[in-house]
């Protein structure tokens, strides 16, 4: 007898979810904002499922402000009304305002480098600038706090609450990418509310079990790196794939590719930092052109494992720790927050302490190793993929720069939608940036307010060249059979972007506010319940910065016969009959390598140049609004056949992905490197 009420409750919940989807879509379609009277007595910010569940058990209050998809989903499951940040503030407004914040960041980065060299004389003697080595990561942290504070002030101006409340987040752990896995909105709200004389209740004191905490565990790419021995095995396997490799040496972490021909003394010797993102293919081409190549690992975690204990190292670590307190007591350290009206919060201090005590020592060790290696005079150039601080390659670039050795960096990730402001560290810290296409070169060259050092040269994407040929038919058929099971309907693959990406509101994801994007995805995916002639396969990404499973959970509960998979995208695109992609950046290049029918969501305004969307329309159905996106997906699902496109247009690919589109990106990269005068 106990099952019947549970069954009714489940039906009620699913009905509420269905109604919630409908209400959300109407709101998204109409682009409506709250009415002219936006005021409320109490502004409650909800971030987590536990917080939303606690809120619903309390006496009635004004609708809460939900800042994450999981909080929104919990409210929807119970039929609880809520508001979103984007109901009050068009978040892509931050994108248009970001240039001045970047100027402030670059000034502050310069100060942080000066302070670091003053605190640690060995840094000054060596010319090591730790903030510059991690510019990309620090830029996003700096911008995230600015964006959150500016947005909260806008909301307070509109809502005019008498009281505010939220759970102040704790930051006991910081991931390697320096961005705590908690929302910045509740972190900045207390200071900004009190500065206006608005009462603030810290719900962490009322219900401490609901207090969000930043998770320091490592997800995504770094967690897959494994140990040094694992990396060595993987690299050896990659090297064995190269034909006619005459000599493989593995002393002290060096991995050398030798070739016959010119004498060792006469051949250019290229140091390659890292092995991903097409570097191995570029190394092979360099070797084929007669160069010597040495490859070194660049994983932060692997470098941390390699640093040996010694009395000198112990003294260095003590000096680093002693200076941590000095950093927190330096007024200039807090100036960016004070300028925004924010007090001293853990969301700011904890990442910087982790940066100073954990990340900087690893980069310092890598910097010294690279300096010692490059100072021998054997190397004529450095090739890598990263100057952001997310690997030790940024330290290698800094060492090469100090010694006047040319640095070449391969673009990794993105195609269109590239904001030159976000790529500032690449424009400032390498000599030659080898990008995907001439469209990318033009967009990056437009960064008039970024001090650019590098020459930008389009060579194409080495990674995308690998997508050019479909996998063996047997492999694709095997994957397709695994996905379909006994269900032989056509497969439509949905490729999403991510939730909670740091810096979301001031870079290429500005047009994808978390909650609205979650609502839109739910409505789009629910189309598979009404147009049942195809089967949904949803590509679930494992994210380093936000391991959120709310979308996968929704699909499993509410989209019949759907498949949620972490299978590699490069395999899925060939097994599908058609593709829906809702972010025209990295993955768009991959899906365009196929002949599949494609629907792409490219909301405006965005970082993309207008010609990017125009070129993409020649190959795919491109939607710029939620309503058009819904309509295009519905039409795609209603098709009776999904024949491949004959001679698909490649103009977008050429401008933003593959340059000449002939599969020879690695050869072009090698030619650019070997064209420098010292290599002739």
Contact 258, 281 (CB under 8 A): no
pTM (two decimals): 0.88
The 3-state DSSP composition of the chain as helix, strand, coil percent (nearest 5) reads 50, 10, 40
Picking from 494, 504, 558, 553, the residue whose alpha carbon sits closest to that of residue 526 is 558
Give yes or no for a contact between 394 and 420, defined as CB atoms under 8 angstroms apart.
no
- pLDDT computed for residue 21 by the predictor: 46
| 159 alpha-carbon distance from chain centroid | 32
Characterize the bridge pairing of strands 199-202 and 269-273: unpaired
* Whole-angstrom distance, CA of residue 17 vs CA of residue 644: 36
Model pLDDT, residue 680: 59
CA distance 169 to 34: 28
Other CB atoms within a 10 A radius of the CB of residue 262 amount to: 12
CB 503 within 8 A of CB 91: no
| pLDDT value at residue 276 | 85
Structure confidence at residue 348 (pLDDT): 96
Q: Rounded to an integer, what distance in angstroms lies between the CA atom of residue 374 and that of residue 366?
A: 12
Residues in CB range of 500: below 8 A, 6 or more apart? 68, 181, 514, 543, 545, 546, 548
The full DSSP string for 221-278 is: TGGGT--HHHHHHHHHHHHHTSTT------GGG-EEE--SSS-TTTS-EEEEE-STTT
Instruction: Output the pLDDT for position 309.
Output: 66
Residue with tokens 């020649």: 618
In the sheet that 621-623 helps form, which strands lie side by side, from edge to edge? 563-565, 535-539, 491-495, 578-581, 598-601, 621-623
Give 603-627 pLDDT, tens digit per residue: 876 767 788 889 999 999 999 999 9
Q: Residues for the chain: how many in total?
A: 680
Strand order in the sheet with 407-410: 255-257, 292-296, 269-273, 381-384, 407-410, 432-435, 455-458
Low-confidence stretches of the chain (pLDDT < 70) are 1-38, 217-265, 308-310, 415-418, 502, 542-548, 605, 607, 678-680
What was the pLDDT predicted at 607?
Answer: 67
Separation CA 362–CA 358 (nearest Å)? 7
CA distances from 265 to 249, 284, 306, 515 (A): 18, 19, 31, 60
Per-residue pLDDT, 414: 72
Both structure tokens of 555:
């699909």
User: What pLDDT is attached to residue 246?
Assistant: 32
Q: What is the DSSP string of 545-614?
A: S----HHHHHHHHHSTT-EEE---HHHHHHH-SEEEES--SHHHHHHHTS---EEEE--SS-SS-HHHHH
| 381/293 Cα distance (integer angstroms) | 10
Is residue 139 within a helix (H) or strand (E), and if so which, with residue range? helix 135-159
> Residue 416: its pLDDT value, please?
67
**Number of alpha carbons in the 13 Å side-chain half-sphere of residue 624:** 10
Question: In this predicted structure, what is the pLDDT of residue 589?
Answer: 92
């Amino acid at each position: 007898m106990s099952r019947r009420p549970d069954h009714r409750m489940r039906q009620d919940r699913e009905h509420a979810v269905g109604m919630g989807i409908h209400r959300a879509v109407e709101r998204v379609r109409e682009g409506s904002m709250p009415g002219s009277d936006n005021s409320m007595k109490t502004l409650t910010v909800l971030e987590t499922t536990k917080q939303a569940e606690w809120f619903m058990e309390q006496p009635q209050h004004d609708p809460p402000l939900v800042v994450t998809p999981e909080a929104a989903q919990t409210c929807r499951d119970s039929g609880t009304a809520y508001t979103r940040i984007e109901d009050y503030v068009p978040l892509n407004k931050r994108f248009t305002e970001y240039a001045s914040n970047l100027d402030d960041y670059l000034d502050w980065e310069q100060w942080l480098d000066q302070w670091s060299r003053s605190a640690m004389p060995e840094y000054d003697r060596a010319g090591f600038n730790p903030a510059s080595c991690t510019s990309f990561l620090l830029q996003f942290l700096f911008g995230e706090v600015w964006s959150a504070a500016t947005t909260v002030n806008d909301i307070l101006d509109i809502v005019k609450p008498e009281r505010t409340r939220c759970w102040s987040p704790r930051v006991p752990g910081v991931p390697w990418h320096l961005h705590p896995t908690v929302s910045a909105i509740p972190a900045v709200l207390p200071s900004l509310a009190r500065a206006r004389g608005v009462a603030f209740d810290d719900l962490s004191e009322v219900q401490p079990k609901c207090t969000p905490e930043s998770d320091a565990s490592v997800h995504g790419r770094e967690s897959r790196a494994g140990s040094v021995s694992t990396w060595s095995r993987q690299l050896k396997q990659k090297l064995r794939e190269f034909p006619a490799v005459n000599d493989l040496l593995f002393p002290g972490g060096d991995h050398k590719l030798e070739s016959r021909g010119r004498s060792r003394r006469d051949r250019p010797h290229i140091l390659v930092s890292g092995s991903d993102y097409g570097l191995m293919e570029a190394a092979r081409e360099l070797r084929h052109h007669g160069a010597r190549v040495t490859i070194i690992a660049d994983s932060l975690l692997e470098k941390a494992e390699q640093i040996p204990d010694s009395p000198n190292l112990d003294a260095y670590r003590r000096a680093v720790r002693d200076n941590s307190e000095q950093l927190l007591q330096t007024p200039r350290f807090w100036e960016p927050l004070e300028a925004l009206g924010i007090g001293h919060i853990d969301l700011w201090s904890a990442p910087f302490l982790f940066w100073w005590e954990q990340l900087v020592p690893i980069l310092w060790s890598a910097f010294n190793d690279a300096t010692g290696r490059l100072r021998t005079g054997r190397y004529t150039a450095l090739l890598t993929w990263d100057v952001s601080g997310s690997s030790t390659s940024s330290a290698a670039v800094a060492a090469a720069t100090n010694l006047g050795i040319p640095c070449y960096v391969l673009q990794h990730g993105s195609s269109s939608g590239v904001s030159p402001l976000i790529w500032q560290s690449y424009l400032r810290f390498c000599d030659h940036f080898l990008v995907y296409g001439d469209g990318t070169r033009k967009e990056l060259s437009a960064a008039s307010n970024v001090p650019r050092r590098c020459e930008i040269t389009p060579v194409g994407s080495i990674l995308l060249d690998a997508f050019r040929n479909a996998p063996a038919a047997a492999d694709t058929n095997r994957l397709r059979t695994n996905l379909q099971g006994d269900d032989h309907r056509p497969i439509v693959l949905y490729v999403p972007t991510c939730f909670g990406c740091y810096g979301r509101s001031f870079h290429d994801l500005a047009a994808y506010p978390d909650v609205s994007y979650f609502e839109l995805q739910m409505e789009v995916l629910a189309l598979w319940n009404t147009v049942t002639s195809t089967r949904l396969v949803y590509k679930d990404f494992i994210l380093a910065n936000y391991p959120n499973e709310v979308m996968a959970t929704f699909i499993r509960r509410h989209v019949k016969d759907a498949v949620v998979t972490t299978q590699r995208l490069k395999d899925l695109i060939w097994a599908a009959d058609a593709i829906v992609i809702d972010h025209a950046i990295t993955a768009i290049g991959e899906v365009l390598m196929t002949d599949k029918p494609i629907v792409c969501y490219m909301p405006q305004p965005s970082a993309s140049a207008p010609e990017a969307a125009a070129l993409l329309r020649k190959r795919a159905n491109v939607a710029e609004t939620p309503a058009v996106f819904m309509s295009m997906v519905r039409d795609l699902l209603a098709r009776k056949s999904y024949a491949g496109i004959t001679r698909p247009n490649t103009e977008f690919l050429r401008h933003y992905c593959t340059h000449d589109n002939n599969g020879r990106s690695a050869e072009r990269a090698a030619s650019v490197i070997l064209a420098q005068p010292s290599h002739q």
